Structure 1
Amino acid sequence: MFLEALASVLLGLALALLATHRLAHRLPSRNLVLATGAAGALFGAFVTHSVVGPGNPLAVLAGAVVLAVASLSLLLRNSARPAFEAIRPKVG
């Protein structure tokens, strides 16, 4: 259980680092992104371990990755100019 938790936190941190590298312009501060990735992965590992039970480390790590990615996606902001503004008529 401890190794699953440690591995899931490391996976969450790796995903958060990847997100900050690729999407830095659309994310808030790096510290928040790192904390969210680690916490999301740890929570995902806990939920998956509770559902599938012990003895399935790959399933637990897969659940950790899924919830870490979902948590990180909630932090994404819109780009500077949304596409729908280009076609909306100006009033006034």
Structure 2
Amino acid sequence: MRYISHLDLMRLFMRALRRGGLPIKMTEGFNPHPKLSIKRALKLGLESDNEEAVFVLEDFISPLEFQDKLQAELPEGIKINYVKRDFN
């Protein structure tokens, strides 16, 4: 996907997480939102084959199951290449 802004991409992932029923951890503020971060924001009009994102989950789910459930909810053109479990 070439013409999607950083904020639109964040919203896309939030919706995909919700639709996929994934146990995403929420912030504890007045307006809770999912704890997720995309490492580097792309400029509008640029494409990338390898972007990193961090999703904080409430419950354990295997990386493969997470990838399958999330990928099923993402539109064509956005593909998850690799998922790893990290405790840092």
Name the TM-score, length of structure 2 as normaliser.
Answer: 0.41
Higher strand share: 2
Point out the structure with the larger helix share: 1
